[in-house]
Amino acid sequence: MSPTLPVGIHDLCFTTGYYVLDHNEMARHYGVDPDKYRLGIGQDSMSVPAPDEDIVTMAAAAAQPVLARHGADTIRTVLLATETGVDQAKAAGLFVHALLGLPSSTRVVELKQACYGATAALQLAAGLVYRDPTQSVLVIGTDIARYDLGSPGEATEGAAAVAMLVRAAPAVLRLDSTSGLYANDVMDFWRPNYRATALVDGKTSIEAYLQAVQGAWKDYAEQGGRPLEEFEAFCYHQPFTKMAHKAHRHLAACAGLGQSDADIRAALRHTTSYNRLIGNSYTASLYLALASLLDHSEDLSGKPIAMLSYGSGSIAEFFGGTVVPGYREQLRTAAHQEAVRRRVPIGYAEYRALHERALVTDGGEHLIEAESGGPFRLAGIRGHKRVYDTADRRTATA
């Protein structure tokens, strides 16, 4: 097998939650200047899932169009990354596997390392495809970002899932084999098993992210990666979009490149459109930045793109890829824009009620009303088991 075999992202599709809270609503509620959100952290609104949505329903909804286009024949592995796990033992991907009707001859695993998880999945998927180029891997990043009400993190909540088909001779992005890595045990953001909301030391987390950018870049350069100037655009993990600006300024300084504000804006141009409106989607965030770039840029065929993945705790990876000529035929721009546009606006009180809602834990049977109208829904909890349903089955039994 040739080590130069191109492997990468063949298709990419994301979806988001059913509701949306505009940051003007949050600003009104807390009596703060809306510019703190719009300009200060670079966020306009955030997705809020309906009660019948969770990471499983979003993941299945993101993956369904990918399977509809390419079939499932070559998929022998599903890697689902999340930090919003629904079970301490069972992989959420198994619910997705069932909802999508994937064959039983499939390896299904869940990965966790905060927001970095989907990048780990992508790199592991590339390794599996190198080993057997006849196989493809379904990689999913799916998360609901949730902080305590009234905490500084609240304005950076969001929700989304991204599904990517990784295979040989990809149609969208060929991954470079060089990666820069950085690991550091730091408590900047974490969620103990007994909590539904994350804990974060905001300022420490920003410092930890920047330190990780520096470490990953240093390793990338030592591994013989491309010079920074070679990249056409830079996709960052975006807990809030202003973070991408901070990160890129820091990266350019580390690489010894003088960058004006205009240079930084140009390097990030088109990468923040979706995250500005959706909010933090943890594992999916970096790949929403990539989708935003591909969906909104002029033709990028043959151009190298840089990717910086950060997961608190912490791990960072800097890697590159080349956009494949003809990639535009694969894009799902209209569907992505529609997923963002069709969200139903809610006020702060409705958002708060959704935020405070918790699943019952008494082991009884609890049905959840159909609300989101998506292709998949969480129908209830029975005997401590999640029960999912598809639109098809709903129609069949209606």
CA–CA separation, 45 and 25 (whole Å): 9
Q: Is 36 annotated as a binding residue?
A: no
Question: Which CB atom, from 156 or from 271, has the smaller least distance to ligand CAA?
Answer: 156
* Cα 29 versus chain centre, distance: 28
Instruction: Give catalytic status of residue 115 as yes or no.
Output: yes
CA–CA separation, 44 and 39 (whole Å): 9
As to burial, measured by CB atoms within 10 angstroms (0-12 exposed, 13-18 middle, 19+ buried), residue 201 is: middle
Lay out the site mask for ligand CAA across 259-288 (x = CB under 6 A, - = otherwise).
Answer: ---------------------x-x------
196 binds ligand CAA (CB under 6 A): no
Using the Cα atoms of residue 59, residue 62, residue 66 and residue 68 in order, give the sign of their dihedral: positive
Q: Which stretch binds ligand CAA (CB under 6 A): 121-129, 235-243, 259-267, 291-299?
A: 235-243
Name the residue with tokens 């988001």. 16
Cβ pair 77, 106 in contact under 8 A = yes
183 binds ligand CAA (CB under 6 A): no
Q: Which of 93, 141, 215, 239 binds ligand CAA (CB under 6 A)?
A: 239
Compute the chain's Rg from CA coordinates: 20
Amino acid at position 10, single letter: H
240 binds ligand CAA (CB under 6 A): yes
CA–CA separation, 389 and 292 (whole Å): 30
Q: Is 147 annotated as a binding residue?
A: yes
Q: What angle do CA 254, 187, 212 make, to 5 degrees?
A: 15
Q: For residue 143, give Cα distances in angstroms to 4, 366, 393.
A: 33, 23, 25
Among 10, 23, 70, 237, the one annotated catalytic? 237
Question: Which CB atom, from 282 or from 376, has the smaller least distance to ligand CAA?
Answer: 282
313 binds ligand CAA (CB under 6 A): no
Closest approach of Cβ 281 to ligand CAA, in Å?
Answer: 9
Question: Which CB atom, from 152 or from 347, has the smaller least distance to ligand CAA?
Answer: 152
Among 25, 53, 83, 110, the one annotated catalytic? 83
Residues of span 328-367 touching ligand CAA by CB under 6 A: none
40 binds ligand CAA (CB under 6 A): yes
Count the residues of the shown chain that bind ligand CAA, applying the rule CB under 6 A.
27
Instruction: Give catalytic status of residue 235 as yes or no.
Output: no
Q: Is 299 annotated as a binding residue?
A: no
**Ramachandran bin of 363, using left for φ above 0, alpha for ψ from -120 to 50, beta for the remaining angles:** left
Q: Which helix (H) or strand (E) holds 234?
A: strand 233-236
Q: Which stretch binds ligand CAA (CB under 6 A): 32-40, 61-69, 88-96, 368-376?
A: 32-40
Question: Which CB atom, from 64 or from 156, has the smaller least distance to ligand CAA?
Answer: 156
Q: What is the DSSP string of 267-308?
A: HHTTSSHHHHHHB--GGGHHHHHHHHHHHHSS--TT-EEEEE
Nearest alpha carbon to residue 151 among 115, 113, 189: 189
Closest approach of Cβ 38 to ligand CAA, in Å?
Answer: 8
Cβ pair 159, 204 in contact under 8 A = no
CA–CA separation, 265 and 81 (whole Å): 30
The residue number with the shortest CB distance to ligand CAA is 40
36 binds ligand CAA (CB under 6 A): yes
Bridge partners for 138 per DSSP = 78, 165
Residues of span 200-219 touching ligand CAA by CB under 6 A: 200, 202-203, 205-206, 209
Question: Which CB atom, from 149 or from 359, has the smaller least distance to ligand CAA?
Answer: 149
Active site residues: 83, 115, 237
Using CB under 6 A as the criterion, which residues of the chain lie in contact with ligand CAA when the complex forms? 33, 35-36, 39-41, 115, 152-153, 155-156, 188-189, 200, 202-203, 205-206, 209, 237, 239-240, 243, 280, 282, 310, 312
